[in-house]
A and B are shown apart, each in its own frame.
Chain A
Amino acid sequence: MNDQSSRPTPMAARAFLGLFILWQLFFLFSSNIISLLPKARENWAKQRIVQNVAPDWGEAKGPVANAERSLTQVTSRWSELTGQPQNWSLFAPNVTDIVPFVAVEFCWEDDPSSVPSISQQLAPFGAGQFLDQITLGAVAWGKDFFDREGLENQIQVLWTKAIGYGSPKNIPSPPDAVWRHHSRSAWILLSDNEPRNTQHYLRIGHFRLRRYESCIDISPTSADEKPDTVVDVWREDIESRVRDRWQLMHAYLNWRLRRLLKEYPELPEPRQVILWARIYRVPLSEEAPSPWTWRGPEWHPVARWQPGAVWEDRLLPVEMFNPVVGRFESLRQREARHAE
């Protein structure tokens, strides 16, 4: 019999191993218990026992809360150094009934409210003479009109080829939007992870892409609340999300665009690239329809990137969609980094 455990080990090594084992046990127990405390504080801060034993802890103050913070610092650093994260709240505390996907719209029109669009419309009126107006109008509108129709046809041909069925009946049409006049000048690409037929599919793979997309998707508040409240909270959610995650959104929109142009090099670069959230809602278990199906999908614009635009340094290159006024707005730079 070969007993590795019976070979003589230096005393120092044994002492070090013993200390390491004790430290690991302490780390495992304390980091996991500590991870529960913020949620416990939310739920139990007003309980009598907490008020009697550690009243300040409920407000994250006092010696108990300070000790909690110090311990969190120490255990977090060890978990980061050794690659032992302790974040075990899988499908917890709640499981949501909202199922978000991202979609990307490529639009080959300028936003009608953008400076290039408006100046194009107003250019002829800068002329003094009637004949000059006609000439300027033909220059400002004519070439673009000609290009637009040709471009739209090109997009539709490529669209039909792309879906491979000859008919776009299973592919969503872009919803009406204020940033374009013509739905034919836009192309929507769904997430690779979204089932084309929610009633019948088999999913294998795409889990890392799904994880990335979950970092940039966003879910609106419940549709049961008053519309004004919902829209205002939704605006705040979008602004917060875009501010925190604009780099991820920009990288994702850029990646989808490069993939599109690599596959269809005949296409020119789109003027606008829009990030949409497509929301499905799981019906309440007691109110499930028959036959069973999800509600939705709802379409919610979230952010926009204009590849050809040049922004001032103080503005983010990704704009947020403001649902209150129904248009995209730019955001000022700040020390933005996305949450983990």
Chain B
Amino acid sequence: MPVRAERLAAMRIGLAGFLLLDIFLTYLPNLEVFFGGNSLGDPSIFEFYTSAPFWRWSLLKGIENPAILQAALWLWVAATFCLLIGLFTRSSALISWVLSSSFAGLNSCIDNAGDEIRGILLFYLMISPCGAAWSVDRSWRRLRPGETGPVFIYPWVLRLLFMQMILIYFTNGMFKLMGGTWWSGDSLYYVMSDLTLARWSYAEMAVPLWLTRALTYFVLAWEAGFPLWVALPWTRKLALGFGVAFHVGIGISMELGFFAPYALCLYLPLVPWERFFRSAMISKERSASALA
């Protein structure tokens, strides 16, 4: 059954917004540190990463010249901005995906799961009508006769993304079930006291042990049972709500780059945006008729 295009558009806008921040905060200031000749990502070190037998690729493979890399990065900024506002949306999604994959292929040591989720989301945006709503492209189409009213799309992209989301949590949960620290309830205690990524000192703001144990078991049950929780109508909203809270909590308490924001983008297509706009439209009509 077709769904409102706003759902996909929300994910497009959220992802593009976070990606722009990511590029400006973590890529641009450190371009010559992580990429190019004589850097931490010198092409001679990572040449194997995009060579046979792997099928990974990068259009920037072997590039040492910082000027070329700088130009590629600014092209990425431009494409992502166009994706944000929905201008030539399909092309900008394609260019953004190509450049995201190209930079990922230059230095495999600086990325985390957030960057992987980013790449997956860009892939889906590239192959879907993500500019069908909330976009400059849509505004131009409205000028044509018959192109008014809400837009509907086939939901296959959203369903595939939902499957991806389920498998992310389920696979994580299964791996956790095979580990001792999750069964003993100590995992979140160790995570929160990890000096390499905790946002603040555990010594200064120690969380009671009973609470970290409870949270550890809760996270384990939530992840391992995620397919079940979202399949059952009476647990679905709670499970998804916990997921949002989980990632917001991770973003606040740990420095994992843009992992939390990119993961939250997976939830954007699940929000019934059209209901908010229907309510807004109804309020607007009531105000207009009251004034009249």
Contact = CB atoms under 8 A, between A and B. Distances in A.
Interface of A: 1-6, 17, 21, 24-25, 28-29, 32, 35-36, 39-40, 43, 76-78, 80-97, 99-101, 193-195, 197-212, 214-215, 247-248, 251-252, 254-255, 280, 282, 285, 291-294, 337-338, 340
18 contacts: A1-B150, A1-B152, A3-B152, A32-B167, A76-B55, A83-B100, A85-B116, A88-B113, A88-B171, A92-B175, A92-B182, A94-B181, A101-B196, A198-B203, A200-B204, A204-B199, A291-B203, A337-B48
Contacts of A39: 175, 178
B129 to A, nearest CB: 6
Contacts of B170: 32
A208 B154 contact: no
A233 B256 CA distance: 31
A204 B105 CA distance: 26
A194 B197 CA distance: 10
Contacts of A87: 113, 116
B195 A280 contact: yes
A247 B108 CA distance: 13
B203 A193 contact: no
B200 A202 contact: yes
A84 B34 contact: no
A269 B3 CA distance: 65
Contacts of A252: 40
Interface residues of B, number: 87
Contacts of B54: 80
B108 A32 contact: no
Nearest to B110: A208
A198 B172 contact: no
Contacts of B56: 80-81
B123 A82 contact: yes
Nearest to B57: A81
A199 B206 CA distance: 11
B47 to A, nearest CB: 9
A294 B57 contact: no
A212 B110 contact: yes
Contact of A211 (B38, B44, B111, B148): B111
Nearest to A21: B156
A203 B198 contact: yes
B266 to A, nearest CB: 13
Contact of B204 (A1, A40, A199, A294): A199
A96 B120 contact: no
A24 B209 CA distance: 42
A194 B175 contact: no
Interface string B89-126: 00000000100110010011111110010011011000
Nearest to A20: B127
Which of A28, A88, A200, A282 has its CB near the most chain B CB atoms (within 10 A)? A88
A203 B189 CA distance: 18
B201 A24 contact: no
A195 B202 CA distance: 12
A2 B119 contact: no
A84 B25 contact: no
B2 A3 contact: yes
Given A89-B175, A91-B187, A206-B255, A29 B167 contact: yes
B55 A294 contact: no
Contacts of B164: 28
Contact of A95 (B168, B190, B255, B256): B190
Given A25-B163, A247-B45, A199 B110 contact: no
Which of B41, B148, B197 has its CB near the most chain A CB atoms (within 10 A)? B197
Nearest to B25: A205
A176 B118 CA distance: 46
Contacts of A205: 25-26, 255
A93 B178 contact: yes
Contacts of B110: 208-209, 211-212
B234 to A, nearest CB: 26
